[in-house]
Structure 1
Amino acid sequence: MILHAQWRGHHQSSKPVLVWLHGFLGNARDWQAVQSDFVDWPCLSVDLPGHGGSRAQQIDGFPALCQRLSATLQAHQVRRYWLIGYSLGGRIAMYYACRAALAGLCGVVVEAGHPGLSNACERQQRYEADSEWAQRFRCAPLTQTLEAWYQQPLFAELTEKQRQRLIAERAEGYGPELAAMLEATSLSRQPDLLSELRQLSVPLHYLCGEQDNKFKQLAQRCTLPLTLIEAAGHNAHRANPAAFARRLAPMLRQPV
């Protein structure tokens, strides 16, 4: 089985394919504003299980998800590629690069993704928090759950208008399928990848919004190669796509 994916940009280019992985609650369309600056690159935007065109698909963990991503790349005849992932998509990109990558990986760009928890107590706390959220997605009206989700401190920089727009866009999802994906890819189930990331043989870049204090501090603490996006919070590519694209472009041009 392969994941739903959409092509965009210059399909016949000799450049590597840019493979875009969205965050939890998102879909392949989330990257369009940034991709408009990369029309001379082949771009493949993937819908993760439980989301968008892959809404009906379910997986039971990171290994199964990576197998499906590999099958998707093979089905689309992707030979050389960059992985670009936001939040959950960034965590998937890191796991895939460290433990499952097909030959041809040229580099990894992570936007506000967590490399993994090393502390057992933190893992348990995250497990309990994600289980509680999954129950809400599974049982409560989706709009009600989204209202609560976007009130979390991580999204504090959103204006009320921005928050309501996000809720309206995400309300097309289906709660039980989102709950299943949240449980399957919980940070509590992700291994701590930091030491493996430092040994990658391809470039790794880490981006986050300058207002995203949580992930800015995380990147600094983990000594990840951090680039800040001005006038942006946790979802930098949505808040300031022009700045995101401007920072991303030279990363993709570096020799591999």
Structure 2
Amino acid sequence: MMTEVLTSTVAGLRVRRAGQGHPLLLLHGWAMSGAVFGELLSNPPSGLELIAIDLPGHGGSTASAEDSLSVWTERIETTIRELELPSWSLLGWSLGGMLALQLAGRGNVNPERLLLVSTTPRFTVAEDWSAGLPLPQLRAMQRDLKRAFRPTLEGFFQLLFAADEINRERYRQIARFAVGPDLLPDEGSAADGLRILQREDLRPLVEAIPVPTLVLHGDCDEVIPVAAGEWLAANLPAARLERFPRVGHAPFFSSPGIFLRLVGDFCR
């Protein structure tokens, strides 16, 4: 039986809620929305209430005036406060994972547990950081976004999956609920998100985040290499890593059963 998903807007951000129990907030990745967690929301783990928040300018959320990780984080903090949750945990995927690190590192709101899915502290390559995307590749995405917005987003969505990870029918099924035309970000917010990914480096924050953390990462991730997840698990004070063999950037799409079990066990 499918669980009912309730939708509302809290402090300008769209919120989807389903299930009962300990609240687990979900932050999605670049150019997506909380709809990517649709299957999880329809079948939440026992003892958890899932709360998916659309990032600024994505899905049903209003856009922000600045392309700043701090500004986006402040807006999410405001929404969390207005939800008035006595205790809660936080899951961030990809860009949402960077926001989760920022939220935990700032200390203005305090998750009980942290789950980082396909997350990196730094998205682009640097002299001392090889587990990232080469800057010319990101700049090419920025150019393509201006020239052909929809085809660029479709091409990025295809990158989420490793070769032979899912079949064609499963891909179409996921695309229907996760990235419909009414779920796309506005062009300005998509560009803002790429600029955030280009310039943010959260490595200085990591060692000061004491929250118990579960890092989940696909071995065949072509967007954020698994080495980034390994680094997070090694440098966060209270973290462990769960790897998904032969899985790309979105393990909750291709391995939903295993993903839900790991999430439920960790949060309980």
**TM-score using structure 2 length:** 0.77
Unmatched 5+ stretches in structure 2? 1-10, 235-239
Q: How many Å separate the matches in 2 of 1:174 and 1:199?
A: 32
Contact 2:24 2:88 in 1 (8 A): yes
Q: How many Å separate the matches in 1 of 2:161 and 2:257?
A: 22
Q: Does 1:134 align with 2:149?
A: no
Q: How many Å separate the matches in 2 of 1:72 and 1:110?
A: 20
Q: How many Å separate the matches in 2 of 1:122 and 1:93?
A: 20
Q: How many Å separate the matches in 2 of 1:86 and 1:228?
A: 14
1:22-33 → structure 2 map (5 Å cutoff): 22-33=28-39
The correspondence for 2:248, drawn from 233, 242, 249, is 233
Larger mean CA deviation between 174-183 and 107-116 belongs to 174-183
Residues 125 and 39 of structure 1: is their aligned pair in 2 closer, same or farther, counting only changes over 3 Å? closer
Contact 1:209 1:228 in 2 (8 A): yes
Corresponding residue of 1:189: 199
**Higher helix residue share:** 1
Residues 152 and 240 of structure 1: is their aligned pair in 2 closer, same or farther, counting only changes over 3 Å? closer
* Superposed CA offset, 1:161-217 (max 9, x none): 55555556535125513433323421x321232x53233221111001244376333
Corresponding residue of 2:79: 72
* Superposed CA offset, 1:120-165 (max 9, x none): 58799755433331332233151x2234324548644454555555
Residues 170 and 107 of structure 1: is their aligned pair in 2 closer, same or farther, counting only changes over 3 Å? same
Unmatched 5+ stretches in structure 1? none
Q: How many Å separate the matches in 2 of 1:118 and 1:146?
A: 22
Q: How many Å separate the matches in 1 of 2:248 and 2:118?
A: 10
Contact 1:135 1:179 in 2 (8 A): no
RMSD of the alignment, in Å?
Answer: 3.1
**TM-score using structure 1 length:** 0.80
**How many residues are treated as equivalent by the alignment?**
245
Contact 2:102 2:202 in 1 (8 A): no
Contact 2:230 2:241 in 1 (8 A): yes
Contact 2:57 2:63 in 1 (8 A): yes
Q: Does 1:209 align with 2:218?
A: yes
Residues 135 and 155 of structure 1: is their aligned pair in 2 closer, same or farther, counting only changes over 3 Å? farther
Q: How many Å separate the matches in 1 of 2:158 and 2:52?
A: 28
Corresponding residue of 2:99: 92
Q: Percent identity?
A: 20
Residue 223 of structure 1: how far off its partner (Å): 4.5
